[in-house]
Chain A
């Protein structure tokens, strides 16, 4: 089922691009590469590793392993409207509705045989406790070996050394399971791709900060987090280039990502992954463009190809979901300044202790610099209790409040 889905998606986008090369939008190129990744994960030919969010996907790519964080599958199932059955399967197996929907849907998919059996699994302690637990459950379910990366909370010298030591051990673990040692040249090439993509993504983000912004909620949704999956490959460089060039062209013409930009919004943490009209309502009815997602930012330095494990460790530690909340708040404040944000939306995904748990502190931190935050009550994966009417009313009130301030 999933294999057919991804194969059809790949061939559909390729056919469209062949028929009409002018339709090569950045989002299409991004969607194509993501679909290709899905096709490889489900194709049955590649070596596959299910991972946690902060795994080093570039290192894994350099070692010939197709890898993906499992939450991506949860999001994908939700976006295609298929997740209901899997959530129910997980709940039936005892995973209660108070846990994160990303994890519940993946566990349900595994139980229903819709997740390919991996060669091994790599869990990461960041961003969340639920993420570690789901990997333990999956390792047990698939009866496959599990490696755990404990991502320290702070980038202290000891923390960075600890994680880089673990990354070296992880590479040995991968070799044990694939029979292939880490090839220095392939690794260097992957790091070169990562650094190049990083540089171009930084340019794209900088261009997205223009007034009006060339970005919009559709173009940028889930961008930063999903791009992590493609780092280390040419695909990441191609996608970043497409975004950068598209934004540069638009900025050159004072073009806006939406019809008329009146308000500029920052989206905190998770997008609502199932089909819903909220971003369209904001952008079309209120001219409130969602120009940035929290993870659409570069929080790490280029990786030194001569000391790659240290750079990879620093990168994993740097994500805003890791560490003290003041670090995350400072990151959001910086984004709000860079993007000249009028307001922020925090969907407060129900099962997320890591993110939603701190919503009061986050709202306080942004409010202190004059950026109001709208906290919504949603489950970003589980649409069963989605109350569009109520949310629409809250968005409208928020947009009106922001307009009255301007």
Chain B
């Protein structure tokens, strides 16, 4: 009961009014919901509606037609290969860019993003010119499944590199020195110390690369040569639209989306698991 207390309280700065925070949060949530609805959810809902325009039977028939099945299979297998190669090579490129010093490093670093800047159809033309029938380097992969994979590798290059690079930059190198002083060789150190710390970033890059690969259209358009054996899902869908089968196109698209959703959820779970130590 000192006389100072009431005076001190009177001089204290006024408490911030509560409504701007609450209102801000509500406003933010509303904005995000509206935006996502407009940009993503409503179009997807329309697509789903379109896909079952001919009833569930129509959907099933469209998706199980031999051509649709082979297109989906090719898409998934080539995307899986692309993701696997990206995980290894993307991590290796990120490693070299972060840990090595060599002349021209800044240029190489900028080159990584070029596949994003190039219109994908141009990428297709370029690959066809370089690795096509009249290949100046003697490699002909035009109109083959290998060609599809190469085209997909080209357009998905940056994802894993750009996801891993910042994490590798921030990685505490003393962890590696500690591992060495405890008797770990370089391989053990990579496997038990570095890789587990990079895994969340690698998975994030892999998820993006996978999502991009299964939907890719422009770069594979020319190199596939429009043959049945090299028809990926996106090309199949395009062919269906061309022939006026919008429902069939929508059905395969929705299937593709469902597969993507499942794969992304699995990768999300894996990421969650690799980050268990941060909770």
Q: Do A and B bind each other?
A: no
Interface residues of A (CB under 8 A from B): none
Interface residues of B (CB under 8 A from A): none
